[in-house]
A and B are shown apart, each in its own frame.
Chain A
Amino acid sequence: MTFEEVFFYILAAGAIVSALLVITRRNPINSVIYLVLNFFFLAALYLTLKAQFIAIIQILVYAGAIMVLFMFVIMLLNLGDEKQLRDRVTWKQIVAIGLSLAFVMQVIYIVGFGETDGMDTISARAVEIGTVEYIGKELFSHYVLPIEAISVLIVLAVVGAIVLAKRKLD
C-alpha cells in the first residue's frame, strides 16, 4: 500500500465516522461540530484530488460561514438535547434505513466491482485546473453569465432571509 492510499483511507474513515456522528448526536451543537470536522476531511480529500481552490472554498464558505449560521440559529432558538432518539423507532425508519443500505450496496457494487475502465491515476492536467488562476479565468470567460445570475440569487437569498426572519413586516 502506498503512502497515498493510506492517507486516503484515513481521510475516508474520518469522513464517514464524523458523518455518522452528525446524524446520531442528540444535541444539535455536537452535530454541527462533527459536521465541521466532516468538512475538513472533505477539504483534505479535495487536496488529494489536486483541487486547491475548492478545498479552500470548502473551509472558508462551508466550515466558516454556513456552519456559523447553523450554530447561531441553534443558540438563538436555545435547543436542548432531544428527549427521544432511540425509543421511538417506527417501521418507517426501518424501511428507510433498509432502502438506503440497499442503495449504497448497489452503487458500491457498480462502481467498485462492475466493469469500469479503470481510471487509476489523476489526470496530468489536474494540477493546472485546480489553481485559483485557472478557475478564475474560466469563471469570468466561459461562465460569466452563470456567475452574474448566481450573484443575483445571493442578493435574493439575503433579502429573503431578512424578510422571513423578521418579526413583523411593515
Chain B
Amino acid sequence: MVPLNLYLSLSAMLFTIGVVGVLTRRNAIIVFMSIELMLNSVNLTLVAFSSFLGDATGQMLVFFVITIAAAEAAIGLAIIIALFRNKQTVNIDEINLLKW
C-alpha cells in the first residue's frame, strides 16, 4: 500500500508549484489558476487524511472547499472582466491604482 507520507509530499509539491505560479506570473488569469492548484493540493491532503483515519469530516470539508472555489472563480473572473474593460490589460503589474 502507498503510505500517507507520499500523499502529503505530493500535496506539498503541488502547493509549492501553485505558490511559485502566484509569485512569478504576471497574467491575472494564470495567477487565478495557480490559486486553484493550491486549493486542490489542500483538498488532496484532506482526502488523504480522511481515508487513512477513516473519518468523513475531511471529505465534507473538501466538498465545501470545492463550492467556495466555484464561487471564488465566478467572482474573480467577473472582477478580471471589469478590470480589463477599464484598463485593457490583465497584467497585474499595470493594475496598480491601490499601490502606495
Contacts and interface: CB of A to CB of B under 8 A. Distances in A.
14 contacts: A2-B1, A32-B33, A39-B40, A42-B40, A97-B20, A112-B9, A116-B5, A118-B3, A126-B52, A126-B54, A157-B74, A161-B75, A161-B78, A165-B82
Give the size category of B's interface with A. 35 or more
B51 to A, nearest CB: 4
Interface in A13-37: 15-16, 19-20, 22-23, 28, 31-32, 35
B24 A97 contact: yes
A16 B5 CA distance: 16
A158 to B, nearest CB: 7
A22 B21 contact: yes
Contact of A96 (B9, B20, B62, B63): B20
Contacts of A129: 50, 54-56, 59
Contact of B33 (A31, A46, A79): A31
A19 B69 contact: no
Contacts of B30: 22-23, 28, 31
B19 A157 contact: no
Nearest to A58: B66
B47 A54 contact: yes
Given A23-B20, A154-B71, A119 B40 contact: no
B60 A143 contact: yes
Nearest to B81: A165
Interface string A130-169: 1000110011000100100010011011101110110100
Contact of A23 (B3, B34, B68): B34
Interface of B: 1-10, 12-21, 23-27, 29-30, 32-34, 36-37, 40, 43-44, 47-48, 50-56, 59-60, 62-64, 66-75, 77-82, 84-85, 90
Contacts of A48: 2
Contacts of A42: 40, 43-44
A21 to B, nearest CB: 10
Nearest to B1: A121
A129 B50 CA distance: 9
Contacts of A124: 54
Contacts of B26: 82
